[in-house]
A and B are shown apart, each in its own frame.
Chain A
Amino acid sequence: MSFSRLAADLLKRNTTASPVDLGVMRCWVFGLLFVHYVRHDFAAFARLPTVLWRPPFWLRSLSMEFFEPSRVEALHGAWLVLLAFACIGLWVRISGLGALLVGVILLWFENTIAYANAKDVLIIWAMYALAVLSTPDQLSVDRLLFRRRFEDASRGAMLDKGEFFAIHFVRAMLALMFCCAALSKLRTSGIHWGTNGTLANLFAAKALTWDRSPRLPGLAEALARHPMWCDVLARGVLLLELSAPLVLVSQWARRLVAPALFVMLASFWLLLGISFPMTLVCFVFFLRFGDEVELPASDQTGATGPPRVVFDAGSRWCRACVRCFEKRAASKSLEFTPADDARADALLRDAHVSWSRGRRWLLLKGNTAYRGSAAFIEMLAIMGGVWRLGCLLYLIPRCLRDPLSSRRGA
C-alpha cells in the first residue's frame, strides 16, 4: 500500500465527521481559559524582584522592567476580551490569533519568573491549533453575522479537512507529552521507577511536607503505607503513558486510553494537590459533539424539498415533540415521518442512510443527514428565533447527550 493511500486511510478513519465539533471545542477551550484566568493576577509577577527573572538565553536582552505592572494588567484585560470573543466566535480569526499571541506573552512571562511550569504548555498548543490550524467552523456568532461569506469559507474548509489538522495536532501533542514523560522516567530511573517504592516514597513526602492542598487529605499517607500497591500503580502509570500514542491510530485506544489518562491527571490533583486544569481541558479534543453524515451527491433527497424528519413513533417523548414542532413551526415546514411508516423506508433507502431506533431522530437537510440528539438540535435551529438557543445543547458531549435523549423516550 502506498504512503499516500495509507495517509488517506488514516485521514478518513480519524477525521471527525462533523464540522460542529471544532466550534464546540473552540467554545470550551477559550471559554474555560477565560474562566480560569479571569481572576488571575499576572501583575503580581511583575512586582517581584528582578533577580527572579529567568528568560531563555535568546531573550536575555529583554529586561523585566518591560513588563511593568500596568502594562501586564492592560495585556491581561485585552486577553480576556479576546478570549471572550474567540469563545463565542466573534471575529473568530482575529480574536483567536490575538488570544494566542497575548496568551503566549502572558504565560511565557509568568514562566520566566523563578521556575518554568509545564502545566500551561498544552493549552497554548490547543489555542495554536484553534487559531492557526483550524478553519471557520459552524458554531459561531460570525456565522450569523456574515452568513454568505462564512458559508463559502465553510464549504472550502470542509473540503480542506481543516478540523483534521487542528484536532489531530492537539491529540498528537498530548500523546507526545505523556510518551516523553514515560521515556524520561525510564531513561532516568529505568524500570526500577515502578518496582522499588518510588511512588510510595513520593506519596509519603507529599503527605508530610504538606505541599499543596490535596482534595482527598489522608489518602496519600494511606497509600504510602502500602509500597506494593504503589508499585503496581507506578507500573500502571508507566504503561498508560507509554500507550498514549495509540490514541492517534486506534478508535478503541481513544475510548480506553484517553479517559484513563484523564483520570490519571485528575487523581494527581485529588491525591497530591498537583493540578493540571488546562491540560484536562484539552481532553475535549477527544470528544464528539455533532453527529452528521454528508449524503452522496446522487442521494441528496433533502436538497430540494423541505427538511425531512424520521422519528421513533413508539416513543411518547418523540410524539410530544413532533406535536409541539408541528404546532409552532407550521411555516417552517418540517416534514415528519414515523419510522415504521412505509414512506420512511423509501426515504431512508433513497438517502442510503440507516435508521437506528435507539437514536430516535433522523433529519435529512440539504446534503446532510443528522442523527440522534444532533437531529433534534438542528430541528430547534430550523424553528428559528429563541429556539436557536437550543444549539447550545451541542456543548454537551454526544456520549452524554445521546443516552439522555434516548432514555427520555423510553
Chain B
Amino acid sequence: MTRSPGPRAAQSVFKMARLLAFLVPISIQSCYLFRQADGWLFGNFSLFSALSKSTRDTRYSIYGVRQGERTELRLDESAYWAPLDLIRIRAALVLVARASKDDEGRFLEALRERYRLNAERGRHGGPPLESIRIYRVTYDWTAGVDHPTIERTLVMER
C-alpha cells in the first residue's frame, strides 16, 4: 500500500508559492536599479535627482480672496486642501490648464469646497473665501536667499 503524498505535496507547493511571492516583487524592483523609470509600486524614486543650478523657479501658487474685505491670503499649505497635497494640486493645475475652461472651473470649485469642508472639520482656521486665485509665480534668488525677487501673474480665478 502506498502512502498518499497529499499533505507533503501541498506543503511544498505552498513553500514554492511563497518563495515566488518573495522573489518576484524583489526581482522587478531590482530591475529599476538599472533603468530610469518611475511608476507606482515599482520605480527608481528619482525625486530631486536632477541637478538644480538655476536660481529661478516658477510654480503655481494658490491665493484666496477673503469675503467682505476682498484682501488676498496665500494658501500654499496642505492643511487647507487635505487630503490633496500641493504637489498633486500643482500637477492637477497643469492638466486642467491644458484641458478646457470647464475643467478648470470644476477643479477650482472642488478646491473651494475642500477649503470649506476642512474649515468645518477644524483642520484650519482660514476665513470664508469669496474666490480662489491661481497665480504663476517666479522666484529669483540670484542675489541670495535673503534678497529674492518675486513676480506673479494671475492665471485662473473662480
Q: Which residues of B contact A125 (CB under 8 A)?
A: 25
Residue B43, interface by CB 8 Å: yes
Residue from A49, A189, A193, A213 whose CB has the most chain B CB atoms within 10 Å: A49
B53 A196 Cβ-Cβ under 8 A: yes
B96 A225 Cβ-Cβ under 8 A: no
B83 A45 Cβ-Cβ under 8 A: yes
A180 B45 Cβ-Cβ under 8 A: yes
Q: At the interface with chain A, which of B64-72, B103-111, B126-134? A: B103-111
Residue B33, interface by CB 8 Å: yes
B52 A181 Cβ-Cβ under 8 A: no
A interface residues, tally (CB under 8 Å): 64
A127 shortest CB reach to chain B, Å = 12
A209 B36 Cβ-Cβ under 8 A: no
What separation, in Å, do the CA atoms of A328 and B49 have in the docked complex?
62
**Given the contacts A111-B40, A173-B25, A204 and B55 also touching, CB distance less than 8 Å:** yes
A198 B84 Cβ-Cβ under 8 A: no
What separation, in Å, do the CA atoms of A392 and B35 have in the docked complex?
45
What separation, in Å, do the CA atoms of A45 and B92 have in the docked complex?
11
B77 shortest CB reach to chain A, Å = 5
A201 B74 Cβ-Cβ under 8 A: no
Residue B116, interface by CB 8 Å: no
B95 A124 Cβ-Cβ under 8 A: no
Interface flags, B108-142, vs A, CB<8A=1, else 0: 00100110010000000000000000000101010
Residue B153, interface by CB 8 Å: no
A212 B77 Cβ-Cβ under 8 A: yes
Residue A324, interface by CB 8 Å: no
**Given the contacts A184-B36, A198-B52, A224 and B44 also touching, CB distance less than 8 Å:** no
What separation, in Å, do the CA atoms of A43 and B28 have in the docked complex?
31
A185 shortest CB reach to chain B, Å = 5
Q: Which residues of B contact A114 (CB under 8 A)?
A: 88-89, 91-92, 95
Q: Report the nearest B residue to A165, measured CB to CB.
A: B22
Residue A252, interface by CB 8 Å: no
What separation, in Å, do the CA atoms of A189 and B92 have in the docked complex?
28
B49 shortest CB reach to chain A, Å = 4
**Given the contacts A189-B51, A196-B53, A205 and B139 also touching, CB distance less than 8 Å:** yes
What separation, in Å, do the CA atoms of A373 and B61 have in the docked complex?
53
Q: Is the interface of A mostly helix, strand, loop or mixed?
A: helix
Residue B1, interface by CB 8 Å: no
Residue A346, interface by CB 8 Å: no
What separation, in Å, do the CA atoms of A172 and B84 have in the docked complex?
30
Residue from A51, A162, A202 whose CB has the most chain B CB atoms within 10 Å: A51
B25 A128 Cβ-Cβ under 8 A: yes
Interface flags, B25-66, vs A, CB<8A=1, else 0: 110011011001011110111111111111101010100000
B29 A180 Cβ-Cβ under 8 A: yes
What separation, in Å, do the CA atoms of A262 and B118 have in the docked complex?
31
Residue A283, interface by CB 8 Å: no
What separation, in Å, do the CA atoms of A181 and B49 have in the docked complex?
8
What separation, in Å, do the CA atoms of A118 and B87 have in the docked complex?
12
Residue A176, interface by CB 8 Å: yes
A213 B79 Cβ-Cβ under 8 A: yes
Tell me the chain A residues, 112-139 only, with Cβ under 8 Å from chain B.
Answer: 113-118, 121, 124-125, 128, 132-133
B40 A108 Cβ-Cβ under 8 A: yes
A209 B78 Cβ-Cβ under 8 A: no
What separation, in Å, do the CA atoms of A326 and B62 have in the docked complex?
67
B156 shortest CB reach to chain A, Å = 13
Residue B18, interface by CB 8 Å: yes
B84 A44 Cβ-Cβ under 8 A: yes
What separation, in Å, do the CA atoms of A176 and B107 have in the docked complex?
37
Q: Report the nearest B residue to A176, measured CB to CB.
A: B29
A49 B107 Cβ-Cβ under 8 A: yes
Q: Which residues of A contact B88 (CB under 8 A)?
A: 113-115, 117
A49 B103 Cβ-Cβ under 8 A: yes
A189 B148 Cβ-Cβ under 8 A: no
Q: Report the nearest A residue to B29, measured CB to CB.
A: A176
A1 shortest CB reach to chain B, Å = 21
What separation, in Å, do the CA atoms of A187 and B106 have in the docked complex?
40
Q: What are 8 A-B pairs at a CB distance below 8 A?
A: A115-B91, A116-B38, A132-B21, A189-B50, A193-B51, A198-B52, A208-B141, A210-B74
Interface on B for A, CB 8 Å cutoff?
A: 15, 18-19, 21-22, 25-26, 29-30, 32-33, 36, 38-41, 43-55, 57, 59, 61, 74, 76-79, 82-89, 91-92, 95-96, 99-100, 103, 106-107, 110, 113-114, 117, 137, 139, 141, 144-146, 148, 150
Ranked 5 nearest A-B pairs via Cβ = A115-B91, A114-B92, A181-B45, A180-B44, A184-B46
Q: A48-B110, A185-B46, A212-B86 are in contact. List 17 more A-B contacts (CB 8 A).
A: A45-B84, A56-B39, A111-B40, A114-B89, A115-B87, A117-B87, A121-B41, A132-B21, A169-B26, A172-B26, A177-B29, A181-B45, A187-B36, A193-B49, A198-B53, A201-B52, A209-B59
Interface on A for B, CB 8 Å cutoff?
A: 40-42, 44-45, 47-49, 51-52, 56, 108, 110-111, 113-118, 121, 124-125, 128, 132-133, 160, 162, 165, 168-169, 172-173, 176-181, 183-185, 187-189, 192-193, 196-198, 201-202, 204-205, 207-213, 221, 224-225
